[in-house]
Structure 1
């Protein structure tokens, strides 16, 4: 079990896997290099043998072509000594004379040369490949060979030239053995160097692991070290740091959301508890009892609205899809403006004339977006402020803006307008009774419809909230 565990840890280690992969590549590369070198050397030697044999054969053929020639056997032996040799045969392919490397296999060479056309080089391996020969046969009409004073002259019908290739074959074999030894030494040296390089190269990962352990132990402000040099390890560290940062922000948001929710619920609960305590103590009776119930009902309504808003945000945060119905955004905006004109008859709330704007989505949610935007513009601006709803068609989307000429939002507050439970001190006081979730809900609903929302504001000039929704596909 211990051996199995160690083996599992070894193969799970990045360093071990890199070393194993590098070892395989080095073995393959060095072995292939040695094999290719041996093959090229052998090919070069084979071609050199063929050129030498061909050149000698061409020389003999040229001499014989000039006419009847007489050659001394000893001269032929000296001329074609090792590693070359010669076999002279008669018309019946019987050996008349052999010299040099052809002596030990004269009959076999003579027989082999008849299996291929004259002038063609053929290889011969004798005795297990120990006496390798390259053989070529040429005709020799008119040639007379003097074998000495004690032997008769012979008139060979053909000459067979040979060259011994076994010497260089042994050289090639020795070269291969030496190369294999060099491959082993080079492999050990390169692997040792690779271990050193990997140890240095993976040092940033080791530091990252130690920092990650520190973060896991509770040091949430710790971050992985970076050098900003563009290396892969640096990019990984920056990505992990961004993930840690996002997690920290998410946890802070959850804590803030829990604190803000408890704070928002504490006020109505305190009010309800106060009225109930007053009733138990007998301080509420008669007409005052109806007033107490009205206050309690109002506070319950506030809590119900807050819970519904939080539930809606939770559903949207979970990525639950909205309904995909064909809608006319112009008609929805017109109905919201008409309702606002009735609810706030003293305010100037208008909408510019616009053609139908087909979009796809959930009518109730988009209507909630428009009501929140118009309601914010009315509630958080002075009574004399005008509110304009403007709808514009763009090539890729429909743009709807809610514009007011109120006091505006300060630049330091503008980036926080979509935060949940956040209110600006001046323009979004709790005196208006809002929960601080209006624009957060707007943003969540618009994003669920694959749209975008943007707020532009200037102090003393006014505020413009713009949403963009994609056009409905044609035919929908």
Structure 2
């Protein structure tokens, strides 16, 4: 059952409850007023003034006490007719109609109702050998009951308008938007990926829900787009070495190169492509492992010797490259040593690959707030602004042709991003065309238990043995 139907049923139940409660109040109030009249009648029947009035049998109303101004007093004759002795001052002609009343209660009994222009509560008393009828008009009780009914009706109308307004308001700002969002979600689930939820008045739950739903849909759509691009890029990356392998195997099968040099060249190319394809597969497996399991065995490690080891590897890769290092003597972070080396080496290798050999690379280790930042700066050609948001995406290349010719597969920076996510760290890049690039990563800083605590983060030094001139 929908929320709108539940709300309607609740409104109907509330209306019935109000009607039942109002009816009960009216019945109880009328019973109370009649009971008050009956109590007064019983008290009057026992009042000695009543027999006195009967003994006088006079119509001189002016002699009667003021307390009896609303009392009817009469004698019931043997033939059932009434002789009025006193009538209420506000209606002197009133006389109860005893037709149909077989017997009136005695003082010890309960008063009954006799019909008049308005109902009258009556009872009898025996005095001086006559049967007297004493009564009190119930008009005031009826008027009070009527006023109560009108008041309850007016209150019910006001409450109904207020409740109806609230229900309409809730339906317009809450239930109706939810129904439309549900319809949109069903359409999206059915394949209408371009469908979006309309915007609603700011500050309402419907507005926040619609915004969250649209954001979720956009995120899912972007994820699907990235997945499609990932599959296409992975297929493209694997297709090239597979084509090479297939070509050389076909050439060998068709009695292609028979000389030793030709066979060696074919085997070398086959080995290069197989190694490249294996590198792509290993990188993808590494990314999947980081995404699925993260890093659980972090410990306090000294970043400085790890960066120094990476610098030594860079000198082996490009001995002629000018590499500068600025870092303190010791600096600790909560990390995994192998992953730190892997991330820094990926950034540095990326700088080596995409800058000319005469460009200088500077690796810095500093403290920023409560994090340890490792940056790899270069004086290369820089990167266009439109490429910066996508550099850490998988298989993304700012210059795909150049990257492929230099052996890149577009996964190095993506692995760096995955490593930093697993460490709850941050990463980024600052670059301008013609002014070089700066790739950086930040690890959460550990408890300062290594190195010179007093100078950490402020003093830096250049390692003379880590600088090579081109």
Tell me the TM-score normalised to structure 1 length: 0.65
What is the rounded CA distance, in whole Å, between the counterparts of 1:171 and 1:234 in structure 2? 53
Q: Does 1:276 align with 2:249?
A: yes
What is the rounded CA distance, in whole Å, between the counterparts of 2:200 and 2:209 in structure 1? 12
Q: Deviation at 1:424? A: 1.3
Q: Against the structure 1 CA distance between its residues 229 and 372, is the aligned structure 2 distance closer, same or farther, given a 3 Å change threshold?
A: same
2:425 equivalent among 428, 444, 451? 451
Q: Does 1:326 align with 2:300?
A: yes
Q: The residue matched to 1:282 in structure 2 has which SS?
A: coil
1:15 equivalent among 4, 28, 31? 4
Partner of 2:223: 250
Q: The residue matched to 1:412 in structure 2 has which SS?
A: helix
Q: 1:292-319 deviations in whole A, cap 9, x for unaligned?
A: 3332222111111111111222233335
Q: The residue matched to 1:307 in structure 2 has which SS?
A: helix
Partner of 1:305: 279
Q: Deviation at 1:389? A: 0.9
Number of paired residues?
373
Q: Deviation at 1:419? A: 1.8
Matches within 5 A, 1:92-241: 200-201=172-173, 202-226=175-199, 229-241=202-214
What is the rounded CA distance, in whole Å, between the counterparts of 2:371 and 2:26 in structure 1? 67
Gap regions ≥5 residues in structure 2: 34-60, 72-106, 114-135, 451-470
Q: The residue matched to 2:424 in structure 1 has which SS?
A: coil
Matches within 5 A, 1:348-427: 348-425=322-399
Q: The residue matched to 2:386 in structure 1 has which SS?
A: coil
Partner of 2:46: none
Q: Deviation at 1:231? A: 4.2
* 2:200–2:210 Cα contact (<8 Å) kept: no
Q: The residue matched to 2:352 in structure 1 has which SS?
A: helix
Q: Against the structure 1 CA distance between its residues 353 and 193, is the aligned structure 2 distance closer, same or farther, given a 3 Å change threshold?
A: closer
1:440 equivalent among 400, 408, 414? 414
* 2:26–2:145 Cα contact (<8 Å) kept: no
Q: Deviation at 1:27? A: 6.9
* 1:421–1:437 Cα contact (<8 Å) kept: yes
Tell me the TM-score normalised to structure 2 length: 0.66
* 1:38–1:176 Cα contact (<8 Å) kept: no
